[in-house]
Structure 1
Amino acid sequence: MATPPGLGGVAIVRVSGPRARGLLNSIFAPYSSQAEFESHKMVFGRVFDPVQDRPVDEALAVFMQAPRSYTCEDVVEFHTHGGSLVCEEVLRLCLAGGARLAAPGEFTQRAFLNGRLDLAQAESVAEVIGSRTRASLRLASGNLLGRLSELVGGLRQDVLNWMSLLEAEIDFGDEVPELSATENLQRLQALQTRVAQLIAQAEVGRLTHRGVEVVLVGPPNAGKSTLLNALLGEDRALVTDIPGTTRDRLEHSVVLSGMRLNLSDTAGLRDQTQDRVEQLGMERSRQALTEADLGILVVDCHQDWPGQLAEEVLAAGPACWLVVLNKQDLGARVQAAEVLERYPQVVVVEASLLREGAAGVEAALLEQARVLTGQQVECFSVNQRHYQALVRTRESLERVGLAVEDGLSGEFLCLDLRAAAGALGEIVGIDVSEEVLDRIFSTFCLGK
């Protein structure tokens, strides 16, 4: 099935392989006697059961001849009416005709194995499908079109070119001039600069794709849950005037102005409590701080400034912070200027969440999120596998640098250059084990 299960206007059953056209001829009859199954031409007719000689559904069918198809194999698609029973019948006929059910991601895996896509492009198919914002879709689409592959492939080729010069010195030392230490360092520094840029761009891309992790912290009853509900546009967190109402970490995602934000409302932090459940909640609050990209410290400005708490969370949490001075309508004992004087790195927002809502906080939050995701910075989407390969490339080049500084011969440099080229090759699918491929494609949806 190339379409999701359930009721719908149209359902698509896709078949790939050398016997696909034979299957098409055995269970589909065009209405027009003049119709022929030319490649990439839709034909109107009916799907029928050849054993019982009865019609199953009116449908469109298309044959795509290899290699001009998604998998680079012969591909047939049946475009039937949507509905579970219709799809089950068409699938039953396909299986009876010699086909088998595809594994998750098998069509894309075949496209990779047949050379239509490299591995980075193949993985981006799932990212395109799973994109929740325009920004993440733009990055994933860029990868599908080969942007990441081009950057990584060019870098890998330069590593291999340097290796070839060093290996030529080893094999033909009398005929090939030796690269000086200065020349080797220049080549190394150029590669390291490009790898560092790739990693920095990748980090921004990862943040854009998965969303900015935002943690809401502060004293009990300061307004964290009220802020969460206001940002979500619905009541998800329980709000009362009883301190310590929030005991556990509440996580919800929201897309605001095209930006995905993963919000975590946490238990209020205070010095002492005898409630064991609340203590566990505060431990989770502190854990959430270490995982966040952006923190929001919500303070009741009608109360005294929580100096010790502020010092703790601003030191332990992310580098990027908003400080929300809530309950301005009750009278402020804490002024924005005082906070900025103590903590010039934070952004301060004055608010009355219950009375005026969170418009001001939302605007400041989005501005900080845009800074984090570098919307003015060129970036691309990577998954954890890509990122780890880039890190291994950086580490291999660092070892090359040590070898150059120690005056070691080209043989030693080539060892780590080969490791760097191998790590880069893994990103695009060069010398990747079947186990890794199976793990990657098993995460895809059926029919892709």
Structure 2
Amino acid sequence: MYETRYMSIFAAVMTGKGTGAISTIQIFGDSAGAVIKKVFKPAGTKPLKFEAGEILLGTIYDGAEVIDQVTIGCEGTDTFAINCHGNPLIVEMIMQLLRRHGAALLSAEQMLKKLLMAQKSAGSIAVEAKLTQAKAKTLQGTKIIAKQNDAGLTKKARGWLERIDEISLDTIKAEAIEILQKSRIANLIIYGCTAVLTGPPNSGKSTLLNCMAGRQKAIVTDIKGTTRDWVEATCRIDPLSLTLIDTAGLDEESARPESTVENAAQKKTAEILEQADIVLLVLDASRPIEELDDQITNRL
């Protein structure tokens, strides 16, 4: 096998994992054009030229072997987007071909960061905002991120610098603390949050999860302790994207030395509760609240 080394070239799959109609592979670097010329043959008889905005139709070859028919978008003299068929095997073959021609393989996030940093006008906050925007789980989250560059943290930081001689450190500290407090809420809107359903056995946790998810994700029976492994489902309650987790019922009586499975379920429930953003305590309305085990409430 051949292997060529260039000074600087990177490749990344920019579309999601799995089978799809089309996958996009981004190539970036001062030698990107040279590599494209080695692996790509355009359709027709026109000579291969790279002009910004041009879309090229042709075939990717590995030597004499045809890999796939593709289109290549020329985003600049050093930036190209290969649009190939979405079969993961084809995508992997193209990526390995580019690697053998000297490309360093990156994740989509790493590639996006390199592309943004290459823009001289992009500040660190703008770069971080663009990277975060790709991960936002809600429309409201993308709007929050979009504001950061022009009217959010960037604007606030510029204001501090412009008034550095007349503003006190206490004022800056107070404003920074306020931003941090708001950012905790913003993070939940942007990235989504985890809501754990917990409570005594047979209190209706699985029924509530199925209702909120809009479909049956958890098995529901009248038998105590039906749920032992945790069950996840996703739902949207504006402005949040919630990951709901149905856990084994908190039951001190089940945590007996001889009950290995129950002990493991109780331990896992405790671990999930520690990591939750929101804990929803589900109780049976037919049972007086006074009868709720103090040991259960103390664990929440």
Normalised by the length of structure 1, the TM-score is: 0.51
1:113 Cα deviation (Å)? 4.2
Tell me the equivalent position of 1:306: 290
Residue 61 in structure 1 maps to residue 64 in structure 2: no
Tell me the equivalent position of 1:321: none
CA distance in 1, matches of 2:279, 2:34: 60
1:87 Cα deviation (Å)? 4.0
Relative to 1, partners in 2 of residues 1:65 and 1:311: Cα closer, same or farther, differing over 3 Å? same
Q: What are the within-5 Å matches in structure 2 for residues 15-30 of structure 1?
A: 15-26=27-38, 27-30=40-43
Identity %: 21
- The CA deviation string for residues 223-258 of structure 1, in whole angstroms up to 9 with x for no partner, is 22222232233444343333344445x252412345
CA distance in 2, matches of 1:121, 1:294: 30
Residue 252 in structure 1 maps to residue 255 in structure 2: no
1:199 Cα deviation (Å)? 0.9
Contact conserved, 2:209 with 2:246, CA < 8 A, in 1? yes
Tell me the equivalent position of 2:188: 207
- The CA deviation string for residues 342-362 of structure 1, in whole angstroms up to 9 with x for no partner, is xxxxxxxxxxxxxxxxxxxxx
Residue 153 in structure 1 maps to residue 193 in structure 2: no
Relative to 1, partners in 2 of residues 1:298 and 1:103: Cα closer, same or farther, differing over 3 Å? closer
Tell me the equivalent position of 1:132: 137
- The CA deviation string for residues 125-168 of structure 1, in whole angstroms up to 9 with x for no partner, is 4533333332333334445x56555146326626xx64xx5xxx
CA distance in 2, matches of 1:5, 1:272: 44
Relative to 1, partners in 2 of residues 1:36 and 1:286: Cα closer, same or farther, differing over 3 Å? closer
Contact conserved, 1:217 with 1:268, CA < 8 A, in 2? yes
In terms of fraction of residues, the more helix-rich structure is 1
Tell me the equivalent position of 1:297: 281
Relative to 1, partners in 2 of residues 1:244 and 1:189: Cα closer, same or farther, differing over 3 Å? same
Q: What are the within-5 Å matches in structure 2 for residues 169-208 of structure 1?
A: 187-208=168-189
Q: Which runs of 5+ in 2 are unaligned?
A: 1-12
Aligned amino acid, residue 287 of structure 2: Q
CA distance in 1, matches of 2:195, 2:41: 54
Tell me the equivalent position of 1:430: none
1:190 Cα deviation (Å)? 2.1
1:18 Cα deviation (Å)? 1.5
| 3-state SS of 2:104 partner | coil
1:261 Cα deviation (Å)? 1.7
Aligned amino acid, residue 192 of structure 1: K
Contact conserved, 2:58 with 2:69, CA < 8 A, in 1? yes
Q: Which moved more, 1:14-23 or 1:79-88?
A: 79-88
Relative to 1, partners in 2 of residues 1:251 and 1:257: Cα closer, same or farther, differing over 3 Å? same
Q: Residue 33 of structure 1 is aligned with which of 22, 34, 46?
A: 46
Tell me the equivalent position of 2:106: 103
Q: Which runs of 5+ in 1 are unaligned?
A: 67-73, 166-182, 318-448
| 3-state SS of 1:214 partner | strand
1:40 Cα deviation (Å)? 1.9
Between the two proteins, the alignment pairs up a number of residues equal to 281
Q: Residue 2 of structure 1 is aligned with which of 14, 23, 36?
A: 14
Q: What are the within-5 Å matches in structure 2 for residues 39-438 of structure 1?
A: 39-48=52-61, 52=64, 57-65=68-76, 74-84=78-88, 86-87=90-91, 90-91=94-95, 94-95=98-99, 98-104=101-107, 105-114=109-118, 115=120, 117-143=122-148, 145=149, 148-151=152-155, 153-154=157-158, 157=161, 162=164, 165=165, 187-247=168-228, 250-258=230-238, 259-269=240-250, 272=253, 275-276=256-257, 277=259, 278=262, 281-282=265-266, 285=269, 291-307=275-291, 309=293, 313=297, 317=300
Q: Which has the larger radius of gyration?
A: 1
CA distance in 1, matches of 2:171, 2:236: 39
Tell me the equivalent position of 2:8: none
Relative to 1, partners in 2 of residues 1:18 and 1:316: Cα closer, same or farther, differing over 3 Å? same
Aligned amino acid, residue 301 of structure 1: A
Aligned amino acid, residue 138 of structure 1: K
| 3-state SS of 1:110 partner | helix
Contact conserved, 2:42 with 2:56, CA < 8 A, in 1? no
CA distance in 2, matches of 1:132, 1:273: 38
1:195 Cα deviation (Å)? 0.8
Relative to 1, partners in 2 of residues 1:94 and 1:225: Cα closer, same or farther, differing over 3 Å? closer
Relative to 1, partners in 2 of residues 1:199 and 1:155: Cα closer, same or farther, differing over 3 Å? farther
CA distance in 1, matches of 2:60, 2:250: 65
